Amino acid sequence: VRDDRGVVLSGVTARWEDAAEPVLSGVELTVRPGERVAVVGGSGAGKSSLFGVLLGFVDVSRGTVEVPARVAWCPQEAVLVSTTVRENLRIGDPDASDDRLRAALDAVGLGLDLDTEVGPTLLSGGEAQRLGLARALVHDADLVLLDEPTAHLDEPSARALLDLIDTALADRTVLHVTHRPEEAVRADRVVEIAEGRVVVRAYR
């Protein structure tokens, strides 16, 4: 296991551009390589802002942020472009061979042909999320950020997606924002964000 695949936030204070107050203050968080951490907390607590810090689009005014070189972000609704499965996956790596793309589709249980045209409305919510995960695999992301991936799925689809996350992302470092306790318990560890701070480190 390479040791540069984890996340280390030390004393991080961060604010959105133009915001008067910081959204996160003095955040300490270490995520080991390959660990899966569920991030919980009330609406507006700063969970998405934490992802913004890790992705580099929220300004850090104090402290240090260490993230791996390759990070993938899977939002509530997968961002798909109206073109083929192949081109949607190649957003993860423009040079990926068809064999690698097919391996990623296999890993997420999607039996789609690479030439199939997709788009925001042509796949079910669960299929779109799977395609987003496959793109993260094509990117060979060391860190995968899941922002409420089951928010728009019915119960069976949600369970199926979570099972897939268990297997397809088993060796990746994963931060998983969720409101659902049944999702949080699948993680190695749960952290809670409240009022811009990590307030609880609950170990299972």
Applying CB under 6 A, the residues found at the interface with ligand DUT are 16, 19, 23, 41, 43-49
**What would the two tokens of residue 98 be?**
């068809």
| Rounded least distance, CB 177 to ligand DUT, Å | 7
Q: Which is nearer to ligand DUT, 43 or 121 (by Cβ)? A: 43
Q: Which is nearer to ligand DUT, 14 or 131 (by Cβ)? A: 14
63 exposure class (CB count in 10 Å sphere: 0-12, 13-18, 19+)? middle
| Rounded least distance, CB 46 to ligand DUT, Å | 4
Q: Which is nearer to ligand DUT, 36 or 47 (by Cβ)? A: 47
Q: Which is nearer to ligand DUT, 18 or 95 (by Cβ)? A: 18
| Rounded least distance, CB 49 to ligand DUT, Å | 3
| Rounded least distance, CB 90 to ligand DUT, Å | 28
Extract long-range pairs of 52-58: CB within 8 Å, 24+ residues apart: 52/14, 52/16, 53/9, 53/12, 53/14, 53/24, 54/7, 54/143, 54/145, 54/175, 55/145, 58/14, 58/15, 58/16, 58/23, 58/24
Please state, as a whole number, how many other Cβ atoms lie within 10 Å of the Cβ of residue 2: 9
Q: Which is nearer to ligand DUT, 132 or 196 (by Cβ)? A: 196
| Rounded least distance, CB 75 to ligand DUT, Å | 11
